[in-house]
Structure formats: C-alpha cells, structure tokens
Structure 1
Amino acid sequence: MCRSKSKTDATEPTATKRTRSSRSSRPSKRSSTLDIPTPPISSTSSAAPSTSRSNTSSVNYTTSSSNRDNSRASISSKTSLSSIRESLPENPHIYNFSEICTATNNFLAKRFPSSSAAWRCSLHSKDVIIFQRRLRRSLEPSKLRERLSLICRSHHASLINLLGASISGDHIYLVYDFVNGANLADCLRNPKIPNFTVLSNWMLRMQVAMGIANGLDYIHNSLGLNKNFVHNHIKSTSVIITDQPSFHARICSFGTAELCGEIPEYHHQKQHQEGNKEITEITEASSSSSSSKVKRTNSKDMRFEGTRGYMSPEFQATGIGTQKSDVYAFGVVLLELLSGEEPLRYKLDKETGSYRRVSVIETAREAMAQESSGPGTGKEAGGGGGGRLRTWMDRRLKDSFPLDVAEKITRVALDCVDEEPEKRPDMRDVVGKISKLYMKSEQWSNRMGVPTDFTVSFAPR
C-alpha cells in the first residue's frame, strides 16, 4: 500500500501540480487582514522526492500528510483569530455630524430624562446615549483622536464605555453605551414614593459603594501610565444602578472633562509625583496666573461647571478639577448613600420661620462627634448604643446594619471630604478600606441569618 501511494504521488499530472502551485501563489484575504504570512499548502507535497524503496516512500508520505495537517491547523487558527478580532470592541469613532443629526432626528427626538442635552437613540446599530457638551477649548482632529484612543481603552465593569465623539462648532457630542437602570439619586430619592428605595438593605449599599470606589480608582491609578486622569463629574446622578437582580453601580460621563477641555493641558504633562505635591503645584499655578479671572463671571475662559454640594473648596476657588477633588465628590456620594439625603437641602426653622441650609457633611460630622463623645457605643445592629448615628443613617434601612462597619465607613467618607486636599486619601487606599468593610458586612449578614431588610434592632432613635 505504501509503494502504490508513493507511485501515485510521483506520477501526479503536471497540470494538477501547476493548479496547486497557482492556488498557493494567490494572496490569502485572511492573512492580509491579520498581516500573518501563510505558507503555500502545495509546497509540502512537491517538496518530498519519490524513491522506489517502500520504507522511504512511507516516510515521505507521512511527512507530507503531517505538513498538510499543520497547514490546516494554521488556517483554522487564523480563522479563530479573525473571529476574535471581530468580537473585540470597536476602535473609537469620530462620527460625522450628519450621523449625529440623523440619529437624533435633527435633535428633535425625545430627550433623555437625566440630562437636558442628551438623547437615547440608535447609532451604527447600537443603542447609545448622545450627550451634547460645550467645548472649553478647541481640539484639533489629531488631538481628539489621541484623547479618544486613550479614554476608550477603559473597559472596567464599573464604567460605562465611551464609543466616540463628534465636534460641530463650539459643541462636542459624546456617544456612550446605553445601560438599563436608573441613576443613584433617583434610586435613593423618589419624590413620588419617598418611603421606598430599591437599595433597601445594607449589603446592596455596600455593593454600590464598592463599585463606585473601584471605578474611580481605575480612572485615577490604572488607566494611564503617565497621565493623571480626572473624572470631574462625580455625583449621584452620574452613577447608574443597573436593573435587577444585579444592582451594580456604573460611572458614566468619564471622558467629558478630558474631551471638553475642562482639564488644563499642563496637568497631563506632569509625570507621576507625590499626590500632595502635585495638587499644591497645580493650585499655585492656577491661582498665580489666573486668580483675577477666576472671580470674573463674564470670563468665558475661566467659567466652569460644577454641582453644588460636590465641589471641593479648591475647585470652587480655581475651577480646576484634580484627583483630590474627585475624592471629595466621592466622599459626598458615600455620605449620600449612607444617609439617603441630598448633599445640600434647605430646612425650615420653626423658631425663626426662615429656611437654613443643611449639608450632609455637617450632619455627618455632628453625628460622629456625638457618637464618639457618647457614654457608650454598640458594636452590632442589635446593640444599645449608637443612637445618634442611627438617627443620621437612612431610616429605610430599618436599623438593620452592623453599627461598627457603619461608623468606620462614615469616617472614610469624612476623610475624603476633608477641607485640605493633601489630607484626603488616595482612591487606592479607599478601595482597600471599603473592601475590608464589605467583607465584615458579609460576615455580619451571614451571622444574622435573617433578611437584611428586616429590622433586628430595638435601640431607641
């Protein structure tokens, strides 16, 4: 049998050999797509000379068949690589303005509820949200593409992906993936049903805190090697809580500050330094060069956007967003998550008949001050102490939470909102502390052995 096979190989018609060689000389579309050279398939069959000895012909035939198998394996591996490449996320798009107009029906489509200048629509067969923002500084196309390529590298479970952007006049249109859910502010405070919240138990709120902290830590410390990325828009309306049953927290609007020109250019030219020193240098540079412009409300160059209650003192003075101002805003969101209250609200004073402003930071500090100076503190949800902190915490948790964990995470939040930026912790340290408190909360939940939305404390409020 081996001799007959060898004879067949040796007496193969010349036309057939030419046909195979011509096929092998054709360029492969897959290899040109992946830039991987493909060895000719027929070269293995014509490379082995035929002899009359049966043992030699057997070896040659075996070598030829094995080489064919290797070639087939190479083709199949390239096919799998091609399919993997097609499944990877798209490169950042710079959309034509006409595409934005078509997707939003010339901006006549129904606006997205969470923003006055946002539309939910379909673009390139994807369900997206398009945000309209004003450009603080004009960007060249090459600069825009460079920044987009850096920001679109972010693929974190706690971030909503930016797909691309388009510029028209003095506006930029940012295209994000659409995620089903509601923002954190609406989850905590529904004006139609004030006594209800989907985040009705302690573990859900700890899960949300972990998600936001991880996402912000990724932005600050993991995304760029020599770039200090800043979000600059951390607030409860910028955090989306996904639908049941996951209730995961995802940060949206990342990249807005970078692409709209809210972050100064020299902020990106700095190498990684000690955080406190870097913030000091930025603050000094901004105050010395443009301190007079900061106070002028009619100066277009120095106008900045911010939400009351989330702006750090240095951001209010300079308008320059930094990682430390992000940490401050995160601390406010964390206090908001624990208390269920707005960052700033106005409360009627019955004695004077006037309204006074109430800050969630001030009420948290008062609660913790009275807690530490009290006669005794309970360390579990069923303990008798911790009355002041329990009063400050969201009543819809029904006192069902570990008091020692609640105290510690409140202190973490107050450290984040320190008046002096150099005293605020790095997000990497914040993530480490919240992770430990999350594990303690899980141990508490398993030990209680009852539904976490059921009250187990009889301590007076």
Structure 2
Amino acid sequence: MCGNKMAVNATQPDQLSRRRSSRSSRQPPIPSSGDQSQTRVNQSTNITSSSFTYDGGTVTGTGSSSSYRLGSSTATADASISSTTSLSSLRNSLPENTHIYDLSEIRSATNNFLAKRFSSSSTPSWRCNLRGKQVVVFQRKLRRPILDSELREKLSVIYRSHHMSIIKLLGACISGDCIYLAYDFISGGNLTDCLRNKRNPNFTVLSTWMSRMQIATDLASGLDYIHNNAGLKINLVHKYVKSSSVIVTEPSFNAKICHFGTAELCGETVIEAKFDKQRREIVEIDEIDSPESSPVKKLYRSNSRTVKFEGVKGYMAPEFQGLATQKTDVYAFGVVILELLSGEEPVKYRYDKETGDHVRMDIVEMARYAVAGDGGGGVEGEIDGRLRRWVDRRLKDSFPVTVAEKMIRIALDCVDVDPSKRPSMSRVSGKVSKLYLDSRKWADTFRVPNDFTSSFAPR
C-alpha cells in the first residue's frame, strides 16, 4: 500500500483556470526534488478539492492533474493503530479468567445475605454485582472437603466450556461447608413458569410448536456438549436437569441451561473416563466405597457412605441412589421433553370422586398411553386422537403430528427403566435437530396467508 500512487485527473472549467492563473503570482516558487509533492498538496488547499478514502486514510485531490503518495510512516502507523484496536476489541470480547471470590466480596454484594432473594426456590440465591458484572449467586452445601488446588482445577475446566445454551459460571467462594457459585445473569423466565402460569393457566408464551422445538433443540445440544465436549479427560454430568433450571430468552425463545458445574464442585456426581477412540474401548468404571486411603480409580464418590444426595421429584431415574450419572441426566432430559410437549407437571395428583382418593398422574405413563399400539395392531386414527388430546391444547392443535409422535418416542427412550437402553445425548441431539428441521419445513408450508385484503364496505 505504501508504494502505490493515487492520481486524480479532472478537466477544470475556464473559470477555475483563470482563477489559478490570477493567483500564480502569489504562489511561492516550486522547490525542486522531494519537496515538489508536498508543495502540490499545499497548493491544493487553495483550490476546490475532493476527498477520497483509501484503506482508512483520506486523501485530498485537486481539480488539476496531480498525484499523491501515501507516506510509508503514516501508513505503518495507521495499520499499527488499526491492529491494536482490533486486538483490543477482541481481547475485550473474550471472557476473563475464572474467579475465586473472597467471602467479604460476597457479603458486600448481597448486603450480608440480607438482600432480596432472586427466586423462591429452596436454594438461597441473590442477584447482585460482582467485580462490575451482573451475576446470580447460589449458596450450595459442600458435600465433601475440597482443596484450593482442586477447586481451581475444576473451575478452570468448567470455565473453559463455552456453549450458547449454557449459562456461564464466573467464579466460586468456599466458606465452611458452603460454596457460593456466581453465574452470569441472563434475562428471561424459567421453563416452568413459561409452561404453567399460576395466575392464568390458559396462557403461555410458548404458544407455537416452533418455540417448543427451539427449546428442545437448545436443551439437547447443550446437554450433549456437557456430556461429551466440556471436560478434558472426563465426561461431565449436570445432575440438575429440570424445567426450572432452563431459562427461556426472548424474542427467539432460546433455552439456556443453569447450574452447570454445580454438582461437580459440590461432589454429587459420578465422573467417568472418556471413550478412547484410538484404543476403541471404554475404560472400566469402579465405585470407591472406602475412605481416601484407597487407590484412586476412574470413578469416585463422596468420602462418606452415609451421605445421600436428594434428587428432584419427577425427574429422578429409578436407579438413582444419590450420585448422578450421565444416564440419570438422560432420564431427566426425557421428562423435560414430555413436560415441554404436554405442558403438564412431571407428577401430579387428581382427585377421584368415585373413590374419594387422590390418583397419581405420571407424565411418563400418560405419554406411553398416548402412543401405545403403533405397530402392534392398533388403529392409526386412535393413536392420532390420543396424541392430539395429550399434546398441550394451548397449541390449538397446530403442530405436525408425525414429528410430535417421534419426539414423544425419543423422550420415552430416554426414560427407559433400564439405563443401558437409554440413548446417549449425542444420538438424541442429532435426532432432535433433524425433527427441528422437519418442523421448520412444516411451519413454512402451513404459514397463515397474509397476501389478501378484506373490505367491510357495503356491497
């Protein structure tokens, strides 16, 4: 760029030529050699000029035939400034390193834990400002002792995980047997409130099929990332997969998963070794029931056998005994998908007038009944009718029945009683993504027409 010349040629009118000739007597003598180009620039300031932008620099040209050379030093300086600006903007866009906060910072941000709670759940949480960022701080029970070095290592692995469907963990603080986790604040509502409005049960913001398919796709993609791509040498587990742990953002109704890394830092998960692609085998996983003096194996648990971790009612897999695994995550994901399609709670009780008892209504059993009989001599029309009655009526019967049936069957595969028969999240994510594309084609085909006009004038 520095060696190129920019020439501006133009034919001047007679008036401009006469004006130049009249001023020529007042112009200083034109110096020789290298000062000639500079003189031309000075002369151009007294004449009508035109501006041209070239690679970030503006060059002014006169009406006469002139040539300008962009100084090498100026060009180098501009390029250096541009590069520095680009690197600075890129550096500012990148996330900072994870933080280990001091307890005094948490106390100051939460007004000594007297600030208004962020949610009405049993887990204490506060929305506050930490080191210039809007965060939500959750207080959790530390299930087993953790050293500073182990905390930094785990935080480093979790913090390096980046996915658009996962809310970022910014840092942590340990005080006694409690751990405070600071997550990035995301504006939106949780999936439970979006599906079930207590004040207006007939209203939902997720009133279209595509909005629910978007949430299902984001949730499957985010959980697949947690299981298979987030950890370096291990497969991580979420444990808190439920509708209240999914934030729905507007206007595109994207889903973001909360509490990623909580179970790992609190010691509530089973950590498994990753599949070795070169050796084509999976390393055996063994449980450690003995104290820390036992040799370290591929799977570990809390130091005490008596510690039992509670699961979430309705989302717990049958084999859940306190420690979460990827299979229990898959089970909970299946329940959330059924909840998303039907709009119903995972477990509820209905009063039976005949017996006078409360009958337990399980969303899994209801979904199995809705698609029962296909391929086994059942009438297709009956299955179609049961499925339409089971899917959330607030969708107003506007959804692709074939896609809905496939989504239900995927969710039922995830909630299989046998953990070994449940599919992996990578397989589930691929199927859900394909059904999302099928739903998009359906939505484009059955779009409400808007190319007509109506008139209320008298005929």
Alpha-carbon distance, 1:309 to partner: 1.1
Alpha-carbon distance, 1:400 to partner: 1.1
Q: Paired residue for 2:329, among 315, 318, 326?
A: 326
Q: Paired residue for 2:287, among 257, 264, 285?
A: 285
**Which residue pairs with 1:196 in the alignment?**
203
CA separation in 2, counterparts of 1:432 and 1:334? 15
Are the structure 2 counterparts of residues 446 and 84 from structure 1 closer, same or farther at C-alpha, using a change threshold of 3 Å?
Answer: closer
Q: Secondary structure at the match of 1:165?
A: strand
Say whether 1:306 aligns with 2:311.
yes
CA separation in 1, counterparts of 2:118 and 2:185? 11
Alpha-carbon distance, 1:257 to partner: 0.6
**Which residue pairs with 1:94 in the alignment?**
100
Are the structure 2 counterparts of residues 357 and 123 from structure 1 closer, same or farther at C-alpha, using a change threshold of 3 Å?
Answer: same
**Which residue pairs with 1:296 in the alignment?**
none
Please identify runs of 4+ aligned residues in structure 1 that moved more than 6 A.
1-5
Alpha-carbon distance, 1:289 to partner: 6.2
Alignment of 1:371-382 (within 5 A): 373=376, 375-377=378-380
**Which residue pairs with 1:162 in the alignment?**
169
Deviations 1:395-420 (A, max 9, x none): 11121111111111100000011111
Letter matched to residue 137 of structure 2 = I
Alpha-carbon distance, 1:101 to partner: 0.3
Are the structure 2 counterparts of residues 237 and 374 from structure 1 closer, same or farther at C-alpha, using a change threshold of 3 Å?
Answer: farther
Contact 2:219/2:255 (CA < 8 Å) preserved in 1? yes
**Which residue pairs with 2:265 in the alignment?**
259
**Which residue pairs with 1:10 in the alignment?**
none
Contact 1:119/1:130 (CA < 8 Å) preserved in 2? yes
Contact 1:371/1:389 (CA < 8 Å) preserved in 2? no
Deviations 1:153-173 (A, max 9, x none): 122111111111111111000
Deviations 1:253-304 (A, max 9, x none): 001011111125xx25x34259xx969x54x636x769xxxxxxxx785220
Are the structure 2 counterparts of residues 258 and 313 from structure 1 closer, same or farther at C-alpha, using a change threshold of 3 Å?
Answer: same
CA separation in 2, counterparts of 1:349 and 1:99? 54
**Which residue pairs with 2:125 in the alignment?**
118
**Which residue pairs with 2:254 in the alignment?**
248
Q: Paired residue for 2:402, among 382, 401, 404?
A: 404
**Which residue pairs with 1:153 in the alignment?**
160
Contact 2:238/2:263 (CA < 8 Å) preserved in 1? yes
Q: Secondary structure at the match of 1:214?
A: helix
Alpha-carbon distance, 1:195 to partner: 1.0
Are the structure 2 counterparts of residues 259 and 375 from structure 1 closer, same or farther at C-alpha, using a change threshold of 3 Å?
Answer: closer
Q: Secondary structure at the match of 1:133?
A: strand
Q: Paired residue for 1:136, among 120, 135, 143?
A: 143
Contact 1:312/1:325 (CA < 8 Å) preserved in 2? yes
Q: Secondary structure at the match of 2:111?
A: coil
Say whether 1:424 aligns with 2:447.
no
Letter matched to residue 410 of structure 2 = V
Are the structure 2 counterparts of residues 114 and 218 from structure 1 closer, same or farther at C-alpha, using a change threshold of 3 Å?
Answer: farther
Q: Secondary structure at the match of 1:313?
A: coil
Q: Which runs of 5+ in 1 are unaligned?
A: 6-61, 291-298, 379-383, 452-461
Say whether 1:209 aligns with 2:216.
yes
Alpha-carbon distance, 1:126 to partner: 1.6
Say whether 1:342 aligns with 2:342.
no
Are the structure 2 counterparts of residues 399 and 192 from structure 1 closer, same or farther at C-alpha, using a change threshold of 3 Å?
Answer: same
CA separation in 2, counterparts of 1:187 and 1:92? 32
Q: Secondary structure at the match of 1:130?
A: strand
What TM-score do the two structures reach when normalised by structure 2?
Answer: 0.75
Are the structure 2 counterparts of residues 255 and 114 from structure 1 closer, same or farther at C-alpha, using a change threshold of 3 Å?
Answer: farther
Letter matched to residue 153 of structure 2 = E
Letter matched to residue 93 of structure 1 = H
Q: Secondary structure at the match of 2:248?
A: strand
Q: Which runs of 5+ in 2 are unaligned?
A: 1-30, 36-68, 292-303, 450-459
CA separation in 2, counterparts of 1:202 and 1:271? 36
Letter matched to residue 412 of structure 2 = L
Relative to total residues, which structure has the larger helix share, 1 or 2?
1
Relative to total residues, which structure has the larger strand share, 1 or 2?
2
Q: Paired residue for 1:445, among 443, 450, 453?
A: 443
CA separation in 1, counterparts of 2:85 and 2:199? 55
Alpha-carbon distance, 1:325 to partner: 1.1
Q: Secondary structure at the match of 1:369?
A: coil
What TM-score do the two structures reach when normalised by structure 1?
Answer: 0.74
Are the structure 2 counterparts of residues 70 and 252 from structure 1 closer, same or farther at C-alpha, using a change threshold of 3 Å?
Answer: same
Alpha-carbon distance, 1:84 to partner: 2.1
Letter matched to residue 340 of structure 1 = G
Are the structure 2 counterparts of residues 75 and 394 from structure 1 closer, same or farther at C-alpha, using a change threshold of 3 Å?
Answer: closer
**Which residue pairs with 2:59 in the alignment?**
none
CA separation in 2, counterparts of 1:303 and 1:346? 27
Contact 1:136/1:301 (CA < 8 Å) preserved in 2? no
